[in-house]
Structure 1
Amino acid sequence: MAGDEIHWVLVSRITGVGAVAVYGSAGTMILSGPVMLGATLLAGADMLVMGIIFTVLMLPLGLALWANTSVEREQNRQLDAFGVPAIAEVTGLGEWDDGESAGITLELRVSGTGFPAFETTWKRSASQDLRVGTRVTAVVEPGIGLCRVDL
């Protein structure tokens, strides 16, 4: 029954303080261009080109960041309300470096009651506590394919 296979989504936990910080950053990105344009029109400042550039570049990025955070918060609420406890076992470790940030890649096997065991990959900051064979707690919502590893 390969057609019935669940496509799992690994969700990051976003706390209230973290959400405020991300929403604040997104709001700053969204407003930076329009504020510059407004200042140009009201004060006659020589920032028209910068206001246009900031609006064209930062507004879509800020909206995308805001939307992504909203989706992750909703997924976390679903996991908190309907998730079942699970165990995620580290089956493999690797390193990753994308030029801006570096960390480790964890190959995880997630198992528990009420859903078939599955494997997923998680990129995160390096930690001496994580080794092959380490078991960590997880929460899974098998009905919609969400998973969150709690460290």
Structure 2
Amino acid sequence: MADDGDGLQWTRVSRVGPWDAASLYGDALVMCLCGPVMLGSAVLTGADLMVMGIVFTVVFLPVGLALWGHTAAEREHNRRLDAVGIPATAEITDLTHWEDADDAGVAVGLRVSGPGFPTFEATWRRSPHDALRVGLRLTAVVEPSGGLFRVEVR
């Protein structure tokens, strides 16, 4: 998130298309159902899956529900950007490589500008991409009233 100085928190939205959403919803459904299915099979067949079913239910059910909710929110943000978003330009101002334990990528500094909203800066942590370089201008879409923006890397 980025603050434009006026108190508005800008939030970057990832594009989640129909196939991506179907995959994420499927993953969330599997997470939500694996524990209860184990519990049900333990009760119906007498298998030694009761403890495992309880653990899977307690751990994976909330994770699955969170993934489902996050996917739904991202889809809603994308629909909003597609409906009322303003075309903008995001210029890369900084590229910094980062590593956290077993994860690595680049932090992309962006300056987003366009008509109808104040220019703002944001940082985007993502996987490395050969096309990214300082000074590159990317296509963006901004929804100023909600503080949402999406950057397209092709």
When the two structures are superposed, what TM-score results if normalisation uses the length of structure 2? 0.94
The 1-side partners of 2:5 and 2:135 are apart by: 31
Once the two structures are TM-superposed, the CA of residue 100 in structure 1 deviates from its matched residue by 3.8
In 2, the alpha carbon distance for the partners of 1:100 and 1:38 equals 36
CA distance in structure 1 between the partners assigned to 2:107 and 2:7 by the alignment: 24
Within 5 A, what are the aligned runs for 1:27-106? 27-106=29-108
CA distance in structure 1 between the partners assigned to 2:102 and 2:82 by the alignment: 32
Give the whole-Å Cα distance in 1 for the aligned partners of 2:102 and 2:44: 38
Partner of residue 124 from structure 1, selected from 118, 126, 133: 126
In the alignment of these two chains, the number of paired residues is: 150
Change (3 A) 1:129 1:64: same
Counterpart secondary structure, 1:12 = coil
Structure 2: which 5+ runs fail to align? none
Look up the equivalent residue of 1:86 and give its one-letter code: A
- The amino acid of 2:47's aligned partner reads A
Determine the structure 2 residue equivalent to 1:5: 7
CA deviation string 1:69-93 (max 9, x = no partner)? 1000000000000000000000001
Q: Distance in 1 between matches of 2:146 and 2:48?
A: 52
In structure 1, distance between residues paired with 2:83 and 2:72: 17
